[in-house]
Amino acid sequence: MGAGGIGGYIGARLAQAGGDVSFIARGAHLAAMLQTGLSIQSDLGSFVLAPVSASKAAVDIGPVDLVIFAVKLYDSEEAAASIAPLVGANTRIVTLQNGIDSVEILCRHLPRDRVIGGATYLSGFISKPGEVVHSGGLPQNLVGGQRDSIIEQLRELCDRAVGLELKPVADIDEVLWEKFVTLCAFSGGTALMRSGIGPILADPEARIFIEKLRDEGMAVAAAAGHPMADGFPGRVETRWSAFPPHVKSSMANDLERGRPIEVAWLSGRMHQLGMKLGVATPGHTAVFRALHLHALGTQRQNSNL
């Protein structure tokens, strides 16, 4: 569900490995996929998946074993309400969205026992209709559903795929919070500073800012009852350094392209939680307020003028 940078890349790699994969997409991207296939550009090997099974409507696909839910957070409610035709007697829905609210959003529309939280550190974006660029990141995907038979089948398929690893974990909430803190800093920093991660880490002043975002997130998480485990700053450094220097967050890429951005669910959520929990978040508050004007994207913003 969602064939963008994450959904498109993971789905294409699973299909390349022999999985029976269908995509739900829309607009020019869907039209290009149906006409010429889905092109994946990656340092791990580029390829074109063709023909592609894709549609704009879940009813055209019908019940499946597994739904990978990878739409942008601002489309979550509408997308979650639309996927009922995909859900059969034993279907699992794995969300690989950003933030900490995805599971709760999905559970407003779907049975709670079918929804499984997940986190990915892959990075990718749609460069043009029908083409997804895999821009790096660690290949490991962490999901709940440990000992679930459907999740085990997905893990086996990932083992056969290029550049995908799947690790089922017992406590997905802690994983989601760790990614939330990591990603909020990465997204907020690269979007506000309009820079790839390499120059940010190399510049003393820019590094201070992105590390401040990280530390604010750690404080908020601890106050919310989800303290980061020992060694967290080192793990963040490893994840950020795994990207090529030019890589920016998907929010930074969307900002540059005039598309809607997820700032309300990332730095905006940190700002909201900080106010609720009594934790100062001046960095994330600045990111949220500075980028809030662009939250709807150029096209939607102009349509409201």
DSSP assignment letter at 40: E
What type of residue sits at position 72?
Answer: K
87 strand-pairing partners:
64
- Distance, in Å, from the CA atom of 44 to the CA atom of 12, rounded to the nearest integer, reads 13
What is the pLDDT of the chain when averaged over all its residues? 93
DSSP assignment letter at 51: S
Which stretch of DSSP H or E encloses residue 39? strand 38-41
Residues 89, 90, 95: CA angle, nearest 5 degrees: 120
- Distance, in Å, from the CA atom of 273 to the CA atom of 285, rounded to the nearest integer, reads 11
* Mean pLDDT comparison of 1-10, 209-218, 238-247, highest-scoring range: 209-218
- Judging by beta carbons within 10 Å of its beta carbon (0-12, 13-18, 19+), is residue 48 exposed, middle or buried? middle
Cβ–Cβ < 8 Å for 29, 5: no
Q: How many CA atoms within 13 Å lie on the side-chain side of 204?
A: 0
Question: Does position 139 have pLDDT exceeding 90, yes or no?
Answer: no
Confidence of residue 304 (pLDDT cuts 50, 70, 90): very low
- Across residues 223-246, what is the average pLDDT? 92
As a residue count, the chain comes to 305
Confidence of residue 302 (pLDDT cuts 50, 70, 90): very low
State residue 123's pLDDT score: 85
Confidence of residue 299 (pLDDT cuts 50, 70, 90): low
